[in-house]
Structure 1
């Protein structure tokens, strides 16, 4: 009998657990007490549709207490079944209603299904967010580099959350504006004297167009002086010009050397031709003597002429090398004898 009573007790407990799981009586009671009209059959059917009543009912109670009359059970169930965050959407709608922000249920669910945190967006719209930009390097017209850091105060734009660009786009556009502002300055000293000119110029560009945020202010937090980029570029250009000039000079030198070698080769060819022609002279003389066209006296007179020519050449060479020493008491060089 004890075993039967234990089994009956266990069966009753299991049956009640199953009953209260499929028919969440206490949730129904909480809804009734809160003024939300929902039946036990609807809660049972929510279990059958695999929609957790523990999420839908508290959300309905929160919306009802906040005075949001257009939020129904069917809308919440439909949003849950499409993969949305029901509680986050309801929190956002309640916060937007208290802050007098125009946010409809359809817009909130669209933002949530787009992958954005709609509740955080509403909080950012009420309490603006500060975004710190990474260091942005830019060069003024005088060639001095400046490294600036900015703080961007943004507020969420509820109407642009679906399809609007995020924080990365804001940072990129602000960085682009800083570079443009510094680059248009005549000198880096002008930027250092008036850093607010950067923020004013950037704000006038309307950088928040097409983004999910509205830029409220851009404040320059820090500016550091970097390298002298202009001087570095000039040095690099001078080195490049020097290397080009050296390369052209080397090319001209190589061409001159090649021309010199070519002229030397031509001179050697000319000397070879002269030697070849001189080698024909003795043969011509011998032939002239054999043929009787030239006598012995003619040959001797020719030899005397050649000897006189050699003597004159020797005298000219000695005079060229030794006349400077004659005035110093030196003995003049001997004059070569004439050959008969």
Structure 2
């Protein structure tokens, strides 16, 4: 048996820019094991692969579409570019008119249609539980940089750089490429899940009330667009500067330029009245369809890491 799939380039309207995403459609009654899903994600070998489950009658009534998100190495509870890409697919291609909520492992993520610069896109309310870790890498050369989880299982080291030249010189995850999924045990108790990436950024200041950031993200590889890390960074900046200014702050994040995959990520962070916590994070972006086809279901006896 084979499953239908499509690929999108996300956070762009230009083919072969942005961050590629595979979406695999799983029919009702088809059960995939974790190993089968991981093997398919590994075969695509993209930043993430989404498994989109056919809606049940209850899902249709609740306007929910259920998804699982996998990197080439592991399942993750939430990520920005897969949810934006899937929202665009549902809104503009699959035409599931009833679906307006993505059910992820991190929680329910409402989304809606949004036109960006006159082109169809999507906006979603990011599942968030922002946690600033207590210097988990103290004693290392990078231990002074803030470490933040947007949700439990998606963590980034935020590294501010002085200019674009310094940004262009970055080459790898500070914890070591091979340690992306291994250093989680150093995080705060109760938050020791998922990958740890290094997110480098340059603050370009404000244009028409929108804060411009140029970024690069390194985990097990360089990621052209990282919605979860960019949402985490914008949340962190809003929190540490929360004593002044409006409660709602707008950001435009440009990522992937150095690897020829320019991505445009738009974020709005709204603080609660106490200015010490996050009320809402809105993430928006476009996506352009690239490929479609079928992928076979791996035999059930295959496992991800044979003994």
TM-score, normalised on structure 1? 0.20
Q: Which has the larger radius of gyration?
A: 1
Structure in which a larger fraction of residues adopt strand? 2
Q: TM-score when scaled to structure 2?
A: 0.21
